[in-house]
Amino acid sequence: MTDSSKPDGGIGLVETKLFIFGEKEPLRLASGQTLGPVTLAYETYGVLNKAGTNALLILHALTGDAHAAGYHAQEPKPGWWDVLVGPGRAFDTDKYFIVCSNVIGGCRGSTGPGSINPATGRPYGLSFPVITVADMTEAQRHLMDHLGIGQWLAVIGGSMGGMQALQWAASYPERVRSVIPIATTLKHSPQQIAFDEVGRQAIMSDPAWRGGDYYDHGRPERGLALARMIGHITYMSDQSMEEKFSRRLKTEGYKFTFDAEFEVEGYLHHRGASFVRRFDANSYLYVTRAIDYFDLSGGKLIKAGAPLPRFMVVSFKSDWLYPSYQSREIVATLRTHHADVTYVEVNSTYGHDAFLVEHEEQSRLFRHFLAKTSDGKEGVS
C-alpha cells in the first residue's frame, strides 16, 4: 500500500469480507429457532501473531457495521472508529490484530430480515427469527474459530457493542482476557424500552411497511426516518444541543408555518433522510428488540467458578440514554465477584454519542488498559 493511500497516517484502503457458516448445522438461537446458512460481514486490521495472543474484537453500536477503520474504495468517509485504529493509535495495528463484524439481524452485509431466505427465494421479512445479543455473540464465536483465535486479548464496544462485550464475558469467559464495555448497561430500563418501542411503532405505522413485506414495493422511509430522529435526540445531551443549535433559525424571522424553521429541526430531518439510505427498517425492529431483551442482571453476568476477565467500564457524565448509574451497577456486580475492574466516568458534554467523539480521553484509557492486560505479549512475531 502506497503512502498516498494513507493520507491521515491510518490503515488506508480496506475490504469487507464475508464468512458463511451454518449450512450443515444451523445456528441455534435463544428463541429455540435455528438460522442457516449465516453470513457475517467482517473486517480485520493488523496481523495475528504466531501465539494468537494479540486479537482484539471491536463491537459496533445499534446501527453500526463492520467498517470500523480505514477507507473503502470510492467512499470519502473512514470507518466509524478510524481515529482509534491504526499504526500508533490506541488500537495499534502494529501490535494488535483487530476484528470487527456486523451483527446478525443487521443489514450491512450480515444475514438479517432483508436477506434472501433460501427456503423461499425471497427476503425473510418478519419470517426472520427474533434474535438476541447472545445470538450475536454466538455468531461472532463461529467467526473467532474460523480465524483461528483461541482467546481475545480484549473485547471492546459502546452502547449495543458494550452489551455484546458483556455477553462475551457471560457466555465465554474463558475466551476473553479483558472486557471494555462503554456507555452501556446490564439491562434496559423501562424508559429505554419505551424509546425503542416508539421507534418501532413509527416504522410499523408507516403504510409502506406492509407488515414487513415491503421489499418489492418501496421502503417505509418516513417511518424509519422518524425512528432515527427520535433515537438521535437521545444520543445528544441538552448542553450539546444548546451549543450546536441553541434556538437559531434556518432563515431570519419566524415564518409562522410548520416547516422546519429551527436549525435543530433541519438537522433531525437531515439525519433521518440520510439514515434511510443505508439502513433497513426491519433490521431496526430486530436490533432494538434484541437490546430490549438483553438482561445480565441478577447474577447472570458472572458464572460460578468461571474465570474472571479484567474489566474497564467507561461512562460519560452527560449520557442520559445510558446514564452513569447503570455503568456503576455493572461495576458493583463485578466487585461482588472480586473481579479486577476499573471504572472511569468521563466528564463530557456530548451525551451518549461521546463514545464516538471523545477520542483523546478514550485513547489514553485504552492504551493504558491494553498495555497492562497484554503484559508485553501482544507483539506480531
Taking only the tens place, the pLDDT of each residue in 88-144 is: 999 999 999 999 999 999 999 999 999 999 999 999 999 999 999 999 999 999 999
Q: Give pLDDT, residue 120.
A: 96
352 tagged catalytic: yes
**2: confidence class by pLDDT, cuts 50, 70, 90:** very low
Catalytic residue among 319, 327, 348, 374: 319
Rounded mean pLDDT, 220-246:
97
Specify whether 169 is located in the same domain as 49: yes
Specify whether 173 is located in the same domain as 205: no
Q: Counting runs of H as helices and runs of E as strands, what totals does the chain give?
A: 10, 14
Of 271, 290, 309, the one marking the end of a domain is 290
Q: Note the pTM of the prediction, 2 decimals.
A: 0.95
Specify whether 153 is located in the same domain as 89: yes
User: CA–CA distance from 227 to each of 145, 177, 192, 200, 363 (Å)?
Assistant: 36, 37, 14, 7, 32
Specify whether 22 is located in the same domain as 165: yes
**6: confidence class by pLDDT, cuts 50, 70, 90:** low
Listed residue (284, 300, 285) closest to 186, CA to CA? 300
Q: List the CATH number of the domain containing 348.
A: 3.40.50.1820
What does the block give as the cell for 86? 491504526
For the chain, first and last CA: distance in Å? Answer: 21
Q: Give pLDDT, residue 232.
A: 96
Percent share of the chain, pLDDT over 70? 96
* Euclidean distance between CA atoms 282 and 113, whole angstroms: 6
Q: Give pLDDT, residue 7.
A: 55
Rounded mean pLDDT, 14-23:
98
| Residue 8 predicted with pLDDT over 90 | no
* Euclidean distance between CA atoms 278 and 221, whole angstroms: 11
Interaxial angle between packed helices 160-171 and 133-146, expressed in degrees from 0 to 180 and rounded to the nearest 10: 70
Domain span including residue 221:
192-290
Catalytic residue among 101, 115, 159, 327: 159
Place of cell 446458512: 37
**9: confidence class by pLDDT, cuts 50, 70, 90:** confident
Cα atoms in the Cβ-side hemisphere of radius 13 Å centred on 220: 28
Is residue 381 a part of any domain in this protein? no
| Residue 1 predicted with pLDDT over 50 | no
Percent share of the chain, pLDDT over 90? 93
Specify whether 362 is located in the same domain as 263: no
Of 262, 290, 318, the one marking the end of a domain is 290
* Euclidean distance between CA atoms 369 and 358, whole angstroms: 17
Of 290, 324, 342, the one marking the end of a domain is 290
User: CA–CA distance from 240 to each of 104, 233, 261, 351, 353 (Å)?
Assistant: 32, 11, 19, 7, 10
Q: What is the DSSP string of 226-272?
A: HHHHHHHHHHS-HHHHHHHTTT-BSSSS---SSS--BHHHHHHHHHH
Integer-rounded Cα Rg, in Å, for the chain is 21
Is residue 379 a part of any domain in this protein? no
Q: Give pLDDT, residue 90.
A: 97
Q: Give pLDDT, residue 5.
A: 52
Listed residue (296, 291, 353) closest to 106, CA to CA? 291
Which neighbouring-strand residues pair with 156?
Answer: 58, 180
**381: confidence class by pLDDT, cuts 50, 70, 90:** very low
**Residue 117 φ then ψ, to 5°:** -75, 115
Rounded mean pLDDT, 31-42:
98
Specify whether 81 is located in the same domain as 131: yes
319 tagged catalytic: yes
Rounded mean pLDDT, 256-282:
97
Average pLDDT, the chain: 95
Specify whether 9 is located in the same domain as 99: yes
Is residue 28 a part of any domain in this protein? yes
What does the block give as the cell for 124? 425473510
* Euclidean distance between CA atoms 335 and 343, whole angstroms: 11
Q: Specify the higher pLDDT residue, 3 or 189.
A: 189
Q: Is 131 left (phi over 0), alpha (psi -120 to 50) or beta?
A: beta
Listed residue (158, 153, 225) closest to 375, CA to CA? 153
Q: Give pLDDT, residue 4.
A: 40
Catalytic residue among 60, 67, 188, 352: 352
Specify whether 54 is located in the same domain as 150: yes
337 tagged catalytic: no
| Residue 332 predicted with pLDDT over 60 | yes
Q: List the CATH number of the domain containing 235.
A: 1.10.1740.110
Q: Give pLDDT, residue 316.
A: 98
Contact by Cβ (8 Å): 137, 164:
yes
- Number of structural domains (the chain) is 2
Contact by Cβ (8 Å): 109, 41:
yes
Specify whether 89 is located in the same domain as 124: yes
Specify whether 299 is located in the same domain as 220: no
